Amino acid sequence: MNKKGQLLEKPFIFIFTVVVGALIFIFGFYLINNLMKTSNCGQLGLFVNDLKNEVERYYNFDIGSSTDISLKLPRNIKHVCFYTKENYINKAEFDKIDKGLFEAVNNLDYNVIFLPLNYCTKGLFSVKNLKPAENPVCILNTGTIKLNLENKGEYIQIS
């Protein structure tokens, strides 16, 4: 038999249980979402590492040596751009993708950009001895990026 005070106790226990369950669900969703984003940003690092390895490999080959490579990118990355500050940069190509992108990257010492810039903590990378065929070369991400690397003697040309 329940006393009068104990009858009012049950609704509060149910409410407390629902609130705690909702908080666990929200916290779990938040953690899983951040874990997936971190995984995608890690995949950017793998992309750049694979690209650096291929560029370094073909830099040591004879002039005119070329290869086609396929590298995977996370689906949340919309574009990848390759450019060099040493040559004339076509501002219109950057503006087609994102207004103000040219001003954001013009004075930086990077040559590989993943867009959107704010998706990962690090979205700008530098790959030694890499120059694009056109300045810049921006590629729409379809999951797998197909690139052509060609040894030009002093550098590797990407297209």
Summarised one tens digit per residue, pLDDT across range 68-81 is: 888 888 888 888 88
What's the length of the chain? 159
Summarised one tens digit per residue, pLDDT across range 84-141 is: 877 777 777 777 877 777 777 777 788 888 888 787 778 788 888 888 888 788 888 8
Q: Which of 111, 60, 58, 105 is nearest to 82 (CA)?
A: 111
pLDDT at 24 over 90: yes
Confidence of residue 21 (pLDDT cuts 50, 70, 90): very high
| pLDDT value at residue 8 | 67
State the Cα–Cα distance between residues 159 and 29, nearest whole angstrom. 40
Token pair 């104990």 in the structure block, residue = 6
